[in-house]
A and B are shown apart, each in its own frame.
Chain A
């Protein structure tokens, strides 16, 4: 309630402040270079003045800076070595009608250069990698990515390095490190399709990498989301349940088709390393994986769904004890699907 109160209160922040924050431009590298240069110049002047005063002083002061070596100011970055250039296809970002928010300079790197390619696979940006490079990264090659500022049509290029994420198969994702950033960004392949559940398990090292993300399980009826949408207290249980379900069906082959919801469905979110994925499970037995734009489904059985659902809701039909923890679902809203009338249209206009 307090959160909602605060969210509404923040709506009173003036348009001028918002516009300032939304269009804030970071200072260019040249600004910092000039700053460093002017700092170095000041330091030099002070040093010369100190030496001069020492030379002309009648009562020489014991030099305290003797033998001190001043660090050289190196304004030139190391040359970037481009290797395996032939394996990299240069891709153009922002060509699918998903434009930059503001001008080019004010757009984040992964938005500017949202596509990469390696060995015939195309990847798109999906998340930031939060793990240490020694554990999960192995350098593949240097490359040059290309991005297009669609407001001006100008093409930009940037140097980057591609990495294999050790626990993920190359056909699923790679990591990109831009020369001007210390972050690693995960780019996933929207065309990735495992041969079977077994290869999905191994390609993604699912057992080690998967974790509960949003921690929710909810039910929906075709277009209508039910009121019963509860915080998942024991998300890891849902994850192990999913893994055991996959293990028992490991020979199943995926289909590259859209998920078709039935009258009762379960949907929840997980993370694979830091890649968000949505899992949907319909009463008819369709199990769908959705990784930021890439989706495929496996045809499980209605019994599998019932097993999963019964574990989710627990033995007691009015109290979801197994996965919902101690949260009680009102009987009227429990597992049975309920249609919800669409609320009156409210464009969410800013309050004056």
Chain B
């Protein structure tokens, strides 16, 4: 079913909206939650919470594109749950976000930007890189996907994904330096 039809069902308060959303985006929502929470039980809870949040927020919202809205809710709920539980669930492995954190925040003192300001700068940076690099970056650091998974999804080799990420992190750091992020 088309996204706009699903949104219409939400507006009509038709419960089929939930099942159609589940049908179309259920696996993606679950994947986002699992990448963040690393726990099946919590992830399934988050998936259900996402449907509830969609039900409670559409209307009045009429999101476009719907897929981004759904995924943002799933991600925010998962991050919230992870923080509530103080879930430092890995010791040896480095989480994707930590990879980016190490690249951007290692050593240097940085300006007291707000999250929003930094986010806008990252978004601007993403607009100026190649589509493949952008897709790989978002799938890794926003969705939290494994490199092999990105490789499967994009058709790029794992080595190429790794190199692209490494270059993009470096470029992003340079971009933020130019933007005066670091003191």
Binding site for B on A (CB under 8 A): 2-24, 26-27, 97-102, 106-109, 111, 128, 150-151, 181, 183, 212-216, 218, 225, 227, 229-233, 235, 269, 278, 290, 292-293, 343, 346-351
Q: Which residues of A contact B138 (CB under 8 A)?
A: 13, 17-18, 20-22
Tell me if B16 counts as interface (CB < 8 A to partner A): no
With the chains together, A21 CA to B22 CA distance in Å? 20
With the chains together, A343 CA to B80 CA distance in Å? 11
A2 adjacent to B154 (CB under 8 Å) = no
Binding site for A on B (CB under 8 A): 19, 22-28, 30-31, 38-41, 49, 52-53, 56-57, 63-65, 67-69, 71-73, 75-77, 79-80, 83-92, 95, 97-98, 100-101, 104-105, 115-116, 118-120, 122-123, 126-127, 131, 134-135, 138-139, 141-143, 146, 148-149, 152-156
Q: Which residues of A contact B53 (CB under 8 A)?
A: 347-349
Which 8 pairs across A and B sit closest by C-beta, in order of nearness?
A12-B119, A348-B76, A26-B155, A347-B53, A101-B28, A21-B138, A214-B89, A15-B68
B91 adjacent to A215 (CB under 8 Å) = yes
With the chains together, A1 CA to B182 CA distance in Å? 18
Q: Which residues of A contact B86 (CB under 8 A)?
A: 227, 229-230
Q: Count A/B pairs, Cβ under 8 Å.
A: 200
With the chains together, A8 CA to B134 CA distance in Å? 18
> Quick one: given A183-B148, A343-B84, A348-B53, are A12 and B27 in contact (CB under 8 Å)?
no
B153 adjacent to A24 (CB under 8 Å) = yes
Extra contacts, 17 of them, besides A13-B123, A347-B53, A348-B79 (Cβ < 8 A), are: A4-B83, A10-B122, A11-B75, A11-B119, A12-B120, A20-B131, A21-B142, A27-B155, A99-B24, A101-B24, A101-B25, A213-B90, A215-B91, A229-B87, A235-B91, A348-B80, A350-B68
Find the A residue at minimum CB distance from B84.
A343
B26 adjacent to A99 (CB under 8 Å) = yes
With the chains together, A335 CA to B114 CA distance in Å? 37
Residue among A24, A101, A225, A231 making CB contact with B135, cutoff 8 Å: A24
B65 adjacent to A21 (CB under 8 Å) = no
Most buried by B among A10, A20, A151: A10
With the chains together, A191 CA to B32 CA distance in Å? 27
> Quick one: given A6-B100, A9-B118, A98-B30, are A278 and B40 in contact (CB under 8 Å)?
yes
Shortest B113–chain A CB gap in Å is 8
With the chains together, A249 CA to B97 CA distance in Å? 41
B142 adjacent to A292 (CB under 8 Å) = no
> Quick one: given A7-B79, A99-B22, are A111 and B100 in contact (CB under 8 Å)?
no
Find the A residue at minimum CB distance from B69.
A350
Find the A residue at minimum CB distance from B116.
A12
With the chains together, A79 CA to B104 CA distance in Å? 49
A-B contacts, 23 listed (Cβ < 8 Å):
A3-B97, A4-B83, A11-B76, A13-B123, A17-B127, A21-B139, A24-B154, A99-B27, A106-B153, A107-B27, A111-B27, A128-B148, A215-B90, A216-B88, A225-B84, A229-B86, A230-B88, A269-B39, A278-B39, A292-B40, A347-B49, A348-B76, A349-B53
B152 adjacent to A109 (CB under 8 Å) = yes
Shortest A26–chain B CB gap in Å is 3
Residue among A12, A102, A216, A346 making CB contact with B87, cutoff 8 Å: A216
A151 adjacent to B119 (CB under 8 Å) = no
